[in-house]
Amino acid sequence: MREPITDKTIPTMQEVPFFALQDLRVLKNRGLIDPEKIDEYIARDGYAGMAKALTEMTPDQIIQEVLDSGLRGRGGGGFPTGLKWKFAAGEKGPVKYVLTNADEGDPGAFMDRSVLEGDPHAVIEGMVVAAKAIGAHNGYIYCRAEYPLAIKRLSVAINQAKEYGLLGKDILGTGFDFELEIYQGAGAFVCGEETALMTSIEGKRGMPRPRPPFPSVSGLWQKPSILNNVETFANIPQIMLRGGAWYASVGTEKSKGTKIFALTGDVHNVGLVEVPMGTPLGAIVYDIGGGIPKGKRFKAAQLGGPSGGMIPIEHLNAPIDYESVEELGAIIGSGGLIVMDEDSCAVDMARFFMEFCVEESCGKCTPCREGNKRMLDILTNITEGKGKPGDIELLEEMASVIRDASLCGLGQTAPNPVLSTIRYFRKEYEDHIYNHHCSAGVCADLFKSPCQNACPIGMDVPAYIALIMDNRLEDAYKVMLKTNPFPSICGRVCDHQCQSKCRRGKTDEPIAIKFLKRFITDNAQRPKVEAIPVTRKETIAVIGSGPAGLTVAKDLAIRGYKVTVFEELSEAGGMLRWSIPAYRLPRDIITKEIDDIRALGVEIKCNTRIGKDIPLSKLESEFDYIYLAPGAHTSQKMGLPGEELNGVYGGVEFLRDFNANETAWTTGEKTLGAKVAVIGGGNSAIDAARCATRLGADVTILYRRERDDMPAAIEEIIATEEEGIKIEFLVAPLNIEGKDGKVSGITCKRMKLGDFDRSGRRRPVPIEGSEFTLNVDSIIAAIGQIPDLSFLPENSDISINRWNTFDLAEGSASQTTNPKFYAGGDALTGSDTVINAIAAGHQAAIDIDTAIRIKNNEDPYEAPKEEEIIIPFELDEDNPEAPQTKMPELHGHERKKSFIEVELGFTLEDALKEAKRCLRCDIELD
Partner 1 sequence: MALVTLTIDNKQVAVEEGTTILEAAKTIGINIPSLCAWPEIKYFPGACRVCVTEVIGQRGLIASCVFPVSEGMVVKTNTERVRTARKMTVELLLANHPAECTYCVRSGNCELQKVAEMVGLKQIRFNIPDFQEEGRFDHSSPSIVRDVSKCINCGRCVAVCDSVQTVSVLTPSQRGTEVRVAPAFDMPINESNCIACGQCILACPVGALYEKDQVDDVWKALNDPTKHVIVQEAPSIRAALGEEFGIPAGTLITGKMISALRQLGFDKVFDTNFSADLTIIEEGNELLQRAKEGGKLPMITSCCPSWVKFCEHFYPDLLDHLSTCKSPQQMFGAMAKTYYAEIEGIDPKDIVSVSIMPCTAKKLESARPEMNSSGYRDVDIVLTTRELARMIKEAGIDFVNLPDGEYDAPMGEYSGAGTIFGATGGVMEAALRTVYAVVTGENLPNLNITPVRGLEGVKDATVAVGELGDIKVGVAHGLANARKLMDEIRKGKSDYTFIEIMSCTGGCVGGGGGPIPTNNEVRKLRAGALYKDDSQVQTTRQSHENPSIKKIYDNFLKEPLGHKSHELLHTHYTQRGEDLPHKE
Name the residues that contact partner 1, by CB under 8 A: 188, 190, 205, 207, 209-210, 212, 358-367, 369-374, 377, 394, 397-398, 400-401, 403-407, 412
Least distance from C-beta 212 to partner 1, angstroms?
A: 6
Measured CA to CA, the distance from residue 25 to residue 232 in angstroms comes to 11
Measured CA to CA, the distance from residue 313 to residue 328 in angstroms comes to 12
Least distance from C-beta 405 to partner 1, angstroms?
A: 4
Residue 405 or 534 with smaller CB distance to partner 1: 405
Compute CA 226 distance to the chain's CA centroid, rounded to the nearest angstrom.
Answer: 41
Q: What's phi and psi for 671, nearest 5 deg? A: -150, 150
Least distance from C-beta 362 to partner 1, angstroms?
A: 5
Asked if residue 213 has a cis previous peptide bond (ω within 30° of 0), the answer is yes
Residue 408 or 455 with smaller CB distance to partner 1: 408
How is 332-367 classified by DSSP, letter by letter? Answer: -TT-EEEEEETTS-HHHHHHHHHHHHHHH--S-SHI
Least distance from C-beta 207 to partner 1, angstroms?
A: 8
Least distance from C-beta 415 to partner 1, angstroms?
A: 12
Q: Coil, strand, or helix at residue 578? A: helix
Q: What's phi and psi for 566, nearest 5 deg? A: -110, 130
Give the DSSP letter of residue 193.
Answer: S
Q: Which residues partner with 780 through β-bridges?
A: 649, 678
Least distance from C-beta 270 to partner 1, angstroms?
A: 30
Least distance from C-beta 416 to partner 1, angstroms?
A: 13
Residue 323 or 737 with smaller CB distance to partner 1: 323
Asked if residue 212 has a cis previous peptide bond (ω within 30° of 0), the answer is yes
Least distance from C-beta 684 to partner 1, angstroms?
A: 51
Least distance from C-beta 453 to partner 1, angstroms?
A: 28
Measured CA to CA, the distance from residue 311 to residue 298 in angstroms comes to 11
Least distance from C-beta 219 to partner 1, angstroms?
A: 17
Least distance from C-beta 333 to partner 1, angstroms?
A: 17
Structural contact between residues 642 and 736, judged by C-beta atoms closer than 8 angstroms: yes
Measured CA to CA, the distance from residue 859 to residue 269 in angstroms comes to 58
Residue 323 or 757 with smaller CB distance to partner 1: 323
Residue 209 or 436 with smaller CB distance to partner 1: 209
Q: Which residues partner with 363 through β-bridges?
A: none
Least distance from C-beta 400 to partner 1, angstroms?
A: 8
The identity of residue 721, as a single letter, is E
Residue 366 or 667 with smaller CB distance to partner 1: 366
Least distance from C-beta 368 to partner 1, angstroms?
A: 8
Residue 365 or 692 with smaller CB distance to partner 1: 365
Least distance from C-beta 148 to partner 1, angstroms?
A: 23
Residue 238 or 406 with smaller CB distance to partner 1: 406
Structural contact between residues 879 and 507, judged by C-beta atoms closer than 8 angstroms: no
Question: How many other CB atoms are there within 10 angstroms of residue 772's CB atom?
Answer: 13
Residue 109 or 398 with smaller CB distance to partner 1: 398
Measured CA to CA, the distance from residue 862 to residue 484 in angstroms comes to 19
Structural contact between residues 404 and 396, judged by C-beta atoms closer than 8 angstroms: no
Residue 323 or 709 with smaller CB distance to partner 1: 323
Side-chain-facing half-sphere of 608: CA atoms under 13 Å: 19
Please choose, from the candidates 349, 397, 409, the residue with its C-alpha nearest in 3D space to the C-alpha of residue 371.
397
Residue 209 or 820 with smaller CB distance to partner 1: 209
Residue 192 or 630 with smaller CB distance to partner 1: 192
Q: Coil, strand, or helix at residue 8? A: coil
Cβ contacts of 665 within 8 Å, gap of 6 or more: 657, 658, 671, 695
Residue 187 or 819 with smaller CB distance to partner 1: 187
Please choose, from the candidates 604, 599, 611, 616, the residue with its C-alpha nearest in 3D space to the C-alpha of residue 577.
604
Helical segments of 218-298, H only? 230-242, 244-247, 281-282
State whether the Cα torsion 490-491-494-499 is positive or negative.
positive
Measured CA to CA, the distance from residue 775 to residue 916 in angstroms comes to 51
Residue 77 or 276 with smaller CB distance to partner 1: 77
Least distance from C-beta 369 to partner 1, angstroms?
A: 6
Burial of 882 per CB tally in 10 Å (0-12, 13-18, 19+)? middle
Residue 401 or 923 with smaller CB distance to partner 1: 401
Least distance from C-beta 354 to partner 1, angstroms?
A: 11
Measured CA to CA, the distance from residue 17 to residue 21 in angstroms comes to 6
E strands present in 602-741? 603-605, 625-628, 634-635, 648-650, 675-679, 698-702, 726-728, 731-739
Residue 158 or 358 with smaller CB distance to partner 1: 358
Please choose, from the candidates 180, 112, 179, 108, the residue with its C-alpha nearest in 3D space to the C-alpha of residue 144.
112
Residue 358 or 915 with smaller CB distance to partner 1: 358
E strands present in 511-610? 539-543, 562-566, 603-605
Please choose, from the candidates 193, 208, 2, the residue with its C-alpha nearest in 3D space to the C-alpha of residue 99.
193
Least distance from C-beta 413 to partner 1, angstroms?
A: 11
Least distance from C-beta 77 to partner 1, angstroms?
A: 12
Q: Which residues partner with 99 through β-bridges?
A: 140, 227
Q: Coil, strand, or helix at residue 834? A: helix
Measured CA to CA, the distance from residue 277 to residue 281 in angstroms comes to 11
Residue 164 or 214 with smaller CB distance to partner 1: 214
